[in-house]
Amino acid sequence: MLFRSDPLEELTIPDGTTVEEHDLVTDGDVLVGGQSTVEFGVRGRNVIAGERVRFGGHIEAEGDCRLDMWCDVADNVLVGEDAYLGERVHVGGQLKVAGDIDIGDDVDIEEGFEANGWIVIRNPMPTIVFLFVYLGQLLRIGEQEAAEDALSQLLDSDRDDEPVVIPRGATVSDDSWRVSTPARMGDDCRIHGNIRAESVTVGRDNVLFGSLRGKDDIIVGRGSEIKGNVTTRNGDLEIGPGVKIWGDVAAENVRLHENATVDGTIRAGGEIELHTEDVLDEPDEDAEAMAEMAAEMEGESDPVPDPVEGEVDTDALAADESSDHESEGETGDGSEDKTGGESDDGAVTEPPGPAGDGPDGDHPDPAT
């Protein structure tokens, strides 16, 4: 088994994440590290929060929702499957669960709760402890393959939707996203707030209603729009094609694409370089798809090539031969048929003889 790094060591905003009316909306899971603050609501597939996490809005989870001890939710909690609430969790609204509820001691739900499944009042076992107990039991009874399958499903990284990951001790709100770790944003995101992180990587075609600030390097991918300043204290700044920055830019070294736009001032302690390359290492899937589509359209519209000099066009020869055969069976000049035929009344007529011939076809007697 390979031991991987801490999954909460980076602020991760996956592709297509948006902030809509004070809600963080994503198609995947939401993982929030302990002692973090999320000032707005959260909508996702599965929502998992560590100890002492505070939510300033509601939670809507299509799958499961797990809130560790001392979590605080200001509004309602709606869960599509099962809910796990640790000890001394506070919910300011109502708790509605479509499945089972596993609830701990001293949980405060101000407007009550509803569940369609089992309701168990106890302290839910922490996820990591449950995992070790479950795997230990499988190995004890000799089910090694089942244990490997369960572990591979849990650690499987090849999922359709990448989760939103908020590191431990982070603060996320409409005003700012503050973390002490690197931050990475995917493609086609629409985010409100200033991002403050150790280093920042912004994908393609994003809109950020705020500024970027980091201690180390900052990278802004193709077509992204930053409605604020972009500054780094000790790192370099790389700006991709089609990027528009509404504010100022400050870094140690600045690499600016020739098709990018900076409305403010560019300040660099070192060099300012113009380039024509893409600044992201990840492949541009949209550009590749457009190139494939253009190649297919070009292939469909290609004209029929002319025959190469020295080659015989067999189709043209076949067409000429067929036309010659058809012309042989026709008179074509409109002349009368000199052979015998039938008259209108059905009698057979003979062709006329030479000029001067008699009725029998003999020459006339000169004596007569």
Greater confidence, 21 or 345?
21
Question: Which range is least confidently modeled, 29-43, 53-67, 224-238, 333-347?
Answer: 333-347
Query: What gap in Å lies between CA 113 and CA 133, rounded to an integer?
Result: 30
pLDDT bracket for residue 183 (50, 70, 90): very high
Give the whole-number percent of the chain exceeding pLDDT 70: 71
Number of domains into which the chain is organized:
2
Q: Which of 213, 248, 275 is a domain's end point?
A: 275
Does the structure show a pLDDT above 90 at 20? no
The pLDDT of residue 323 is: 55
Does the structure show a pLDDT above 80 at 214? yes
Does the structure show a pLDDT above 50 at 91? yes
Q: Quick one: 15 and 119 in the same domain?
A: yes
Does the structure show a pLDDT above 60 at 329? no
Query: What gap in Å lies between CA 47 and CA 62, rounded to an integer?
Result: 9
Q: Distance from first CA to last CA of the chain, Å, rounded? A: 135
Angle at 159 between CA 154 and CA 162, to 5 degrees: 100
pLDDT bracket for residue 160 (50, 70, 90): low
pLDDT bracket for residue 144 (50, 70, 90): confident
Does the structure show a pLDDT above 70 at 357? no
SS3 230: strand
Contact 255, 270 (CB under 8 A): no
Within-domain flag for 205: yes
Within-domain flag for 363: no
Q: Quick one: 101 and 186 in the same domain?
A: no
The pLDDT of residue 32 is: 94
Q: Quick one: 268 and 191 in the same domain?
A: yes
Within-domain flag for 349: no
Q: Quick one: 259 and 186 in the same domain?
A: yes
Within-domain flag for 197: yes
Q: Which residue has the tokens 């000169």?
A: 366
Q: Which of 275, 294, 327 is a domain's end point?
A: 275
Give the whole-number percent of the chain exceeding pLDDT 90: 55
The pLDDT of residue 9 is: 86
135, containing H or E segment: helix 127-140
Q: Which of 107, 123, 139 is a domain's end point?
A: 123
Model pTM? 0.70
Maximum average pLDDT range among 1-5, 44-48, 291-295 = 44-48
User: Residue-wise over 56-93: b if at least 16 C-beta within 10 A, else e?
Assistant: bbbbbbbebbbbbbbbbbbbbbbbbbbbbbbbebbbbb
Question: Which range is least confidently modeled, 181-195, 197-211, 226-240, 342-356?
Answer: 342-356
Within-domain flag for 18: yes
Q: Quick one: 186 and 117 in the same domain?
A: no
Does the structure show a pLDDT above 50 at 339? no
Q: Quick one: 21 and 113 in the same domain?
A: yes
Query: What gap in Å lies between CA 87 and CA 73, rounded to an integer?
Result: 14
Q: Quick one: 117 and 37 in the same domain?
A: yes
pLDDT bracket for residue 291 (50, 70, 90): low
Within-domain flag for 283: no
Within-domain flag for 146: no
Q: Quick one: 106 and 198 in the same domain?
A: no
pLDDT digits (tens, 9 = 90+) for 31-74: 999 999 999 999 999 999 999 999 999 999 999 999 999 999 99
Average pLDDT, the chain: 80
Within-domain flag for 57: yes
Nearest by Cα to 192 from 171, 209, 213, 170: 209
Does the structure show a pLDDT above 70 at 128? no
DSSP 247-260: S-EEESSEEEETT-
Query: What gap in Å lies between CA 12 and CA 14, rounded to an integer?
Result: 6
Instruction: Give residue 267's domain range.
Output: 182-275
Greater confidence, 281 or 203?
203
pLDDT digits (tens, 9 = 90+) for 251-273: 999 999 999 999 999 999 999 99
